[in-house]
Amino acid sequence: MSFVHRTGVSLAFFAIVLAGPAPARAEILLTPFVGGNLFGSASAPLADFVGDQSRTTFGGSVAVTAGGIFGVEGDVGFTPKFFGTNVDLAGFPVSLAHNNVLTAMANVTVGIPLQGRGPYGQSSGPGVRPYAVAGLGLIRQQLDLVGLFGYSVNDLGYDLGGGVDVFLTHNVGIRGDFRYFRSLSGNTVSDLLDLQPGAFNFSRVTVGLTFRY
């Protein structure tokens, strides 16, 4: 094979490589949110939550995705009055001093970006991105009955859920999200091979503003 022929083949090969699809560029999604905790241990159906907003939850998440498809996420949620404002003990109402629930989860995400893509796999503008999420992390409960006792526990737990990002521009969108949280009965390293679902569980519905970088 002549030098000219070899050179021509090499140039053609590099042209094909350069023209092929480039690897997806990482995107960062930052989402502060607000919502409510329902059902399960929250003891609050949707109708009660609408009338009693004591179970309002606040938080935020940060996700890093490969072109909006596969990613990892850190999610933190805090409910200042998860168990309401008082409880009924043997027919007597007892006020709750401090009661809250904190969740801090490490998740994996899978999304489907329904929009145009740029030359490096990045999102190119407005669009819709439905996604699923699952992970493990901390579920912390704190409950203080006035004049009686205090209770707090840190549980290993998991979450499952999904939602949708609706991007109004390339960088800003609105998110609707639903997740189910449940504690796990084992909390030590020796328990990790035999984890069983715990009793504490609830669902969380939130709305947030997503910023994409």
Give the Å distances, CA to CA, from 41 to 1, 45, 114, 136, 173.
76, 11, 36, 19, 31
Per-residue confidence (pLDDT) for residue 35, from 0 to 100: 94
| Within-domain flag for 88 | yes
Asked whether residue 85 is assigned to any structural domain, the reply reads: yes
> Residue 25's pLDDT is what?
76
Q: Write down the pLDDT at residue 111.
A: 94
pLDDT exceeds 50 at position 13: no
Residue 150 has pLDDT above 50, yes or no: yes
pTM of the predicted model over 0.85: no
Is the pLDDT at 159 greater than 90, yes or no? yes
CATH code of residue 145: 2.40.160.20
Query: Does residue 54 form part of some domain?
Result: yes
Residue 4 buriedness (CB in 10 A; 0-12 / 13-18 / 19+): exposed
State the virtual CA torsion across 110, 113, 117, 123 in degrees, nearest 10: -80
> Tell me: the pLDDT tens digits for 180-212?
999 987 544 444 444 556 788 999 999 999 999
Beta bridge partners of 173: 167, 210
Domain count, the chain: 1
| Mean pLDDT for all residues in the chain | 77
| Mean pLDDT, residues 169-178 taken together | 94
Residue 39 lies in a domain: yes
Q: State the residue range of the domain holding 54.
A: 24-212
Q: Are 49 and 36 in contact (CB under 8 A)?
A: yes
Token pair recorded at residue 80: 């200042």
Non-local CB neighbours of 174 within 8 Å, separated by 6+ positions: 165, 166, 168, 207, 208, 209, 210
Distance CA 95, CA 193 (A): 40
Please tell me the predicted confidence (pLDDT) of residue 6.
45
Best-predicted range by mean pLDDT among 19-23, 37-41, 199-203, 204-208?
A: 204-208
Per-residue model confidence as pLDDT tens digits over 65-110: 998 899 999 999 999 888 776 655 556 666 666 778 999 999 999 9
Does 7 map to a domain?
Answer: no
| More confidently predicted of 118 and 202 | 202
Question: What is the mean pLDDT of the segment spanning 8-31?
Answer: 58
15 domain-assigned: no
Higher pLDDT, 3 or 160: 160
Using the predicted structure, report yes or no on whether residue 119 has a pLDDT greater than 50: no
Beta strand pairing call for 56-66 and 172-184: unpaired
Residue 16 included in any domain: no
Q: In the block, which residue shows the tokens 């819709």?
A: 128
Residue 89 included in any domain: yes
pLDDT at 151 > cutoff 50: yes
